[in-house]
């Protein structure tokens, strides 16, 4: 009789263990939804270069077609190259940036298989859009995969606008941004890195449009802690094998630019706190 009760108890334990194991396997990877990534993993700063406007710099400025206003050529040339990227990205990233920012105002729902969903409306340019953002833990729960699908009321439906892999500590991120909602194709790859100890970080946008003449072109932004020029842009145009370097100081505003294609040398060309050309 004791053996009988022992066997019954053993079978019950095995049954309960198997039941618990099944329940555990059916649970999401994490009990709690992933935290939305920092916007800085996605959005490049263009502070100070949003609009290159020489109005009022001086009443006697003359314009050199290649370099800009006489007396302000170095700053103007640097800024005008940044402005080109700013305009391109401003047009093509308006919807993804707006959709990304709005996600912080909403809570997610668990939809199964370890996936959490944020769904909400947002308005832009007089149009209403519907965003569906999913977050899923990947790579042994070290990273989160984010996928954003967007629909426009009265327009396109369920277009994957971007996706990315972001580390849970927000130290690294890689995003792929699509464009043309009627026929989504890869447009920009975004690579982000941050060092929490030093405060340094970098973000780079690279053109990945298949077959495009500008494929491989990029702009990179860096914070260079402890250096005289503590902010920097690198701009590369592959078709011309043209590499442009820009460095400046925050908060003073003084800076320098180096671009052999424009200056016919490999020297730095500087500007002072008033954006006027000066010796380096």
Q: Using one digit for the tens of pLDDT, what is the confidence trace for 180-209?
A: 888 889 999 999 999 989 989 999 999 999
* Cα distances (angstroms) measured from residue 183 to each of 148, 153, 158, 160, 252: 16, 17, 12, 10, 45
The answer to whether residue 134 scores a pLDDT higher than 80 is yes
Q: What is the mean pLDDT of residues 235-253?
A: 92
Contact 78, 246 (CB under 8 A): yes
Measured in degrees and rounded to the nearest 5, phi and psi for residue 213 equal -60, -25
* The pLDDT value given to residue 9: 41
* The pLDDT value given to residue 68: 54
What's the gap between Cα 255 and its chain centre? 25
Residue 13 CB coordination number (10 Å): 10
Collapsing DSSP to helix, strand or coil, 24 comes out as: helix
- Comparing CA positions, the residue from 149, 154, 15, 45 lying closest to residue 95 is 149
Residue 196 CB coordination number (10 Å): 10
18's enclosing H/E stretch is helix 2-25
Tell me the sheet residues that pair with 110. 116
* The pLDDT value given to residue 210: 87
pLDDT in tens, 24-80: 344 444 478 999 999 999 999 987 665 455 444 433 334 454 555 568 899 999 999
Mean pLDDT of the residues in the chain: 84
| pTM listed for this prediction | 0.82
> Which residues lie below 8 Å from residue 111, measured CB to CB, with a gap of 6+?
117, 134
């Amino acid at each position: 009789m004791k053996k009988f009760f022992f066997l019954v108890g053993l079978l019950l334990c095995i049954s309960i263990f198997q039941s618990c194991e099944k329940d555990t396997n059916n649970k999401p990877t994490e009990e709690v939804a992933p935290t939305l990534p920092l916007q800085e993993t996605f959005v490049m700063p263009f502070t100070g270069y949003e609009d290159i406007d020489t109005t009022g710099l001086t009443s006697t400025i003359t314009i050199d077609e290649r370099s800009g206003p006489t007396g302000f050529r170095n700053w103007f040339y640097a800024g005008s190259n940044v402005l080109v990227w700013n305009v391109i990205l401003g047009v093509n990233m308006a919807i993804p940036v707006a959709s990304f920012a709005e996600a912080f105002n909403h809570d997610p729902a668990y939809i199964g298989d370890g996936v959490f969903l944020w769904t909400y409306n947002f308005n832009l340019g007089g149009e209403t859009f519907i965003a569906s953002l999913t977050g899923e833990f990947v790579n042994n729960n070290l990273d989160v995969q984010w996928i954003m699908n967007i629909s426009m009321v009265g327009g396109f439906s369920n277009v994957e606008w971007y996706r990315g892999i972001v580390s849970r500590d927000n130290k690294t991120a890689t995003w792929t941004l699509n464009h043309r909602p009627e026929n989504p194709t890869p447009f920009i790859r975004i690579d982000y890195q941050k060092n929490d100890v030093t405060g340094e970080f970098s973000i780079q946008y690279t053109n990945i449009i298949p077959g495009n003449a500008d494929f491989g072109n990029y702009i990179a932004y860096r914070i260079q802690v402890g250096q005289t020029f503590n902010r920097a842009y690198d701009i590369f145009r592959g078709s011309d094998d043209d590499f442009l370097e820009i460095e400046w100081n925050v908060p003073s505003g003084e800076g320098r630019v180096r671009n052999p294609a424009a200056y016919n040398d490999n020297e730095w060309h500087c500007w002072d706190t008033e954006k006027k050309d000066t010796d380096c």
